[in-house]
Structure 1
Amino acid sequence: MVDKAGGVQGQTVHPGKYARIERERRFLLAEAPEPSAATATRMITDRYLVGTRLRLRRAERSDGSCELKFTQKVSIAWPGAIQGLITNTYLSSAEYDLLAVLPAAVLTKTRFSVPPLGVDVFDGTLQGLVLAEGEFTTDEEAQSFMPPPECVAEVTDDARFTGGRLVENCRQDLLQWLAEYGLHPATS
């Protein structure tokens, strides 16, 4: 259980040397952006390690390079852009391969960088979900952000649209959630 100070039951977690405050706002889009609108594209595979707050990420860029990260997210149950604390560690291929054998729920998506947002187009059981995220360095920056018109609904405060939750749910759940926001992707 996480408290408002960012702690985990019996432990306190503070931003600073290792963890930083994660400020982001999330929005649903009705469709994927035109590829020509993207300044960069990455194929992302997230492995959410079972029973933990840990994520292993493989992000393959269109130029063939690959970024491997090990991430811990400590969420805070506050409304608004402050999502909690995040700690990233960059990995070598050998380190990634060692951790990738751990039991995990897997989520795949294509991320399009369409400034000022990153737009994720999901695969598999989450096909049809298009989710945009804006990341911010200050509370003021997050609060004053005006989303572009293609953003259908803000889901920043809807925990169902976080990676850790999305990876746990079935297609039928996703379709129901999207319908609540007036979206009806193809069911095939």
Structure 2
Amino acid sequence: MNDDVMNWLRRPGLGKYAQLEKERRFLLPEMPAQACDPRFIEDRYIVGTRLRLRRLEVGSQVVYKFCQKVRPDESAPSTAAITNIYLDEAEYDTLCQLPAATLRKTRRVWQVGHHTFVVDEFHGDLAGLILAEIELSELPHDLSLPTPIGKEVTADERFTGGYLAHASAEERTLVLAL
């Protein structure tokens, strides 16, 4: 096939609009006192897809995103290709009619030296779960991790948004017990 045909013939997670996201994820026993800049996030994971509809609220400002996350290599759990489309409120409301599992959390920024973590504190049935994420490009594997970083869960599928949103009551209880 010629290049013109291949430019439009793409698979999910590939193409010029997909950005690679490389991160590590850790459990936290508590919210770090230095974590700041809270933003409320409601994620709606569309049933039967790899699509997420996000409402992000920072103060009085609201941003709406439609996202697809795809792992290009299942053996690399820290890497995902992410494609975002920014929506207006009417488009968001229309897509909210699709069946979805909802996840609510407050995200804060935690600056540790030259490294920036985002810390998610979950609400509802997942209250008590606190996860910290950092881009791999910012955190060398041999860096000593700050307190109160707990167990690394990057490779544990149970700590992905899609899993947590769709988890049964029993599965949520097991996650919260870790």
Q: How far apart in 1 are the matches of 2:38 and 2:92?
A: 21
Structure 1 runs of 4+ with >3 Å offset: 11-16, 140-146
Aligned CA RMSD, in angstroms, stands at 2.1
Q: Which amino acid aligns with 1:94?
A: A
TM-superposed CA distance for 1:31, in Å, is: 1.3
Match of 1:81 in 2: 78
Structure-1 separation of matches of 2:40 and 2:126: 15
Partner of 1:164: 162
1:154 aligns to what?
152
Instruction: State the Cα deviation string for residues 67-99 of structure 1 (Å, max 9, x = none).
Output: 1111000123124532x2100111111111111
Identity %: 47
> Contact 1:155–1:161 at 8 Å: present in 2 too?
yes
Match for residue 38 of structure 1 among 35, 40, 56: 35
Query: Counterpart of 1:31 in structure 2: which amino acid?
Result: E
> Does structure 1 retain, via aligned residues, the 8 Å contact 2:128–2:176?
no
Quick one: distance in 2 between partners of 1:95 and 1:25?
32
Aligned residues, how many? Answer: 164
Q: Which residue of 2 is the match for residue 70 of structure 1?
A: 66
Tell me the secondary structure at the aligned position of residue 166 of structure 2: coil
Task: Name the structure 2 match of 1:185.
Answer: none
Amino acid at match of 1:23: K
Tell me the equivalent position of 1:184. none
Partners of 2:40 and 2:107 within 8 A in 1? yes
Distance 1:16 1:142, change over 3 A: farther
State TM-score, norm by structure 2.
0.83
For 2:47, the equivalent position in structure 1 comes to: 50
The CA deviation string for residues 13-43 of structure 1, in whole angstroms up to 9 with x for no partner, is 5645110111011000011233xx2331111
Q: CA deviation at 1:170?
A: 2.9
The one-letter code sitting in structure 2 at the alignment partner of 1:148 is P
**C-alpha contact (below 8 Å) 1:21/1:85 kept by paired residues:** yes
* Paired residues for 1:1-150 under 5 Å: 12-13=11-12, 15-34=14-33, 37-61=34-58, 63-75=59-71, 76-79=73-76, 81-82=78-79, 84-115=80-111, 116-136=116-136, 138=137, 141=139, 143-150=141-148
Secondary structure, aligned partner of 1:45: strand
Separation in 2, partners of 1:88, 1:156? 22
Q: Which amino acid aligns with 2:26?
A: F
